[in-house]
Amino acid sequence: MKKIVTTLFLIMLTGNVLATAQYPDILVYQGKNQPIFTNPLESYFDKQHPRPKNVFKFSCTANWRGYVATWKIEENDLYLVKLVEGSCGEDAPEIPITTIFPEQQAPIKANWFSGTLRIPLGKRLQYVHMGYGSIYEKELFLTIENGKIVNEELVDNSTKELPTRHERTLEELRKLKEWEDTTVSPKQ
């Protein structure tokens, strides 16, 4: 009976750990530090570029990936500027970029990244306690191909019907599953 209770407790604890809003990466864009609800560095890790062990330490539930990256846009190109440990504290120690990119110095052009940067703007309209599921008044979407901005779209969420929290949570769970699948079994 004790094993069953312990197992149930651990399952419930794990569910709560994974159901936490996340610390975003930072993007310096048009002279402002903006949170981004995208993690471009995650797409760098694969079999050719494995996630370094013992570098990104899990230290709080609000940062599963173990780091916060600072990025910048310069002449429409995306650059990685800095990495700090994901300790969820104010004075997190810096992670040397050479740990990931041994032969390079910051800033590093993110030519491996193709995807969309989601930048929340304005007041939060709906809080979702998982991943980056919260919805803001406006969201700026920067479409990036091989590290270069190819499209920019501003969405005004204040004028449209919002999905339910349940729908947003399910979407964030789907994203988490994809992230776990690529982190545990990196793409080939």
pLDDT bracket for residue 181 (50, 70, 90): low
Any domain includes 110: yes
What pLDDT sits at residue 9?
A: 38
Question: What digits encode the pLDDT tens for the residues 42-68?
Answer: 889 888 888 877 777 666 777 777 788
Q: Name the pLDDT band for 173 (thresholds 50, 70, 90).
A: low
Is the residue at 8 inside a domain? no
Q: For residue 139, is it within any domain?
A: yes
Cβ atoms of residues 122 and 136 within 8 Å: yes
**Average pLDDT, rounded, for the chain:** 78
The structure tokens listed for 62 are 């609000």
C-alpha–C-alpha distance, residues 12 and 35, integer Å: 30
132 versus 44: the higher-pLDDT residue is: 44
Expressed as residue numbers, the domain containing 51 is 22-184
Residue 105's φ and ψ, nearest 5 degrees, are: -120, 150
Give yes or no for residue 115 having a pLDDT over 80: yes
Q: Is residue 52 part of a domain?
A: yes
- 5 in any annotated domain: no
- The verdict on residue 6 lying in a domain is no
pLDDT of residue 7: 38
Number of domains in the chain: 1
CA–CA separation, 151 and 128 (whole Å): 27
> Does 30 reside within a domain?
yes
What is the rounded distance in angstroms from the CA atom of residue 45 to the CA atom of residue 29? 24
E strands in 45-164:
67-74, 77-85, 94-95, 108-109, 115-126, 135-145, 148-156
Domain contains 9: no
Phi, psi at 109, each rounded to 5° = -65, 130
- Dump pLDDT digits (tens) for 142-157: 999 999 999 999 988 7
